[in-house]
Amino acid sequence: MAKTLGIVGARGHVGADLIRLIAAHPQLELAFVSSRELVGQPLADHIPEYAAKGGDLRYSSPSHEELPGLGADAIVLALPNGKAAQCVAAFDAVGAEPVLIDLSADYRFDDHWYYGLPELTRAQYHGQRRISNPGCYASAMQLAIAPLLNVLEGPVQCFGVSGYSGAGTSPSDKNDPDKLRDNLMPYALTGHMHEREVTRHLGHPVEFMPHVAAHFRGLTITSNLHLSRRFEREELVEHYHRHYDDEPMVRVQEEAPWVSAIAGKHHVDIGGFSMSEDGRRVVVVSTLDNLLKGAATQALQNLNLAFGFDELAGIEVESRPQP
């Protein structure tokens, strides 16, 4: 049976990508898409991919209090940090319990919300109706670090570079192509939200240094891990393969992945595996599309999980390259 979905904050990059994914989903339909800036305009004028499925659906701008009455089976909150609570409070006030998926950081530290990084937390999902979508950088860091959690020694250092779509649509230095041209912009070099998020959910300290570059989508994380025992490189790579070869959304490869190769893809690439001479330090590179696996695709995985659909329904997963 088809389920209906509403998106609050649908004008942004992630909202647009999520609409495109819903357009290809066999069991999900849009009930509404909200945007104050686009209210009244046909959705198909902005996202042609939804035209065949959505009829004459138009952007609307319901108040927080009106949201529960719209009757959607699930609501995705694609809002800036700090804006989700008012929407959640509106559902609490009337005792409504649709599936709520928050794409911001607002509930990633709340134990009452399921933290939806399926490859690592799927076993912790027990029908929760409130789901916090992980951050884009945080997803890439956790997937790179998790296989070695039991042999880590000291904090993990992560150097990150993202395309400027990660800074959203509100104008700033971090999404100004002219200022980013021929440039690499460091920011929030200590205490970044994703540093705290990864440290909390892995239960291990992480030190994160983010940067913005001039490309639009895709991010890369270079993680420096100190190990409590010696590894041979072949042993370590095989360890990652055992951890992820049954996960269609994670690809382990010998070479360090390129961020340009991940743009527009739904999975995560992990590779590189550069070892120190003593075998007790490894540098691992992970890449993902910050708008897809870092946000919209992961939200769809979580929606599929919540509704009991195939987790990859509506997600076009490439076949693994042959060794």
Sorted by where each begins, the domain ranges of the chain are 3-133+294-307, 136-290
The whole-number pLDDT of residue 253 equals: 97
Q: How far apart are CA 214 and CA 10, in angstroms?
A: 24
The whole-number pLDDT of residue 105 equals: 95
Active site (catalytic) residues: 136
H and E: helices and strands count for the chain: 10, 14
- The 8-class DSSP code of residue 135 comes to P
Write out the chain's pLDDT in tens, 323 residues: 899 999 999 888 999 999 999 999 999 999 999 999 999 999 999 999 888 776 789 999 999 999 999 999 999 999 989 999 999 999 999 999 999 999 999 999 999 999 999 999 999 999 999 999 999 999 999 999 999 999 999 999 999 999 988 655 555 666 667 777 888 899 989 999 999 999 999 999 999 999 999 998 999 999 999 999 999 999 999 999 999 999 999 999 999 999 999 999 999 999 999 999 999 999 999 999 999 999 999 999 999 999 999 999 999 988 776 55
Q: How far apart are CA 221 and CA 298, in angstroms?
A: 18
The whole-number pLDDT of residue 226 equals: 98
User: 220 is written with which tokens?
Assistant: 């890369």
The whole-number pLDDT of residue 318 equals: 80
The whole-number pLDDT of residue 109 equals: 97
The whole-number pLDDT of residue 171 equals: 57
The whole-number pLDDT of residue 310 equals: 97
- Tell me which fold the domain 136-290 belongs to: Dihydrodipicolinate Reductase; domain 2 (3.30.360)
Tokens 């399921």 belong to 114
Q: Is pTM beyond 0.85 here?
A: yes
The whole-number pLDDT of residue 4 equals: 97
Q: What is the CATH number of domain 3-133+294-307?
A: 3.40.50.720
The whole-number pLDDT of residue 166 equals: 62
Computed from CA positions of residues 209, 207, 160, 164, in that sequence, does the dihedral angle turn out positive or negative?
negative
The packing angle between helices 297-307 and 13-23, to 10°, is 50
Q: Are 277 and 232 in contact (CB under 8 A)?
A: no
Number of neighbouring beta carbons within 10 Å of residue 245 = 13
Q: Is 147 helix (H, G, I), strand (E, B) or coil?
A: helix
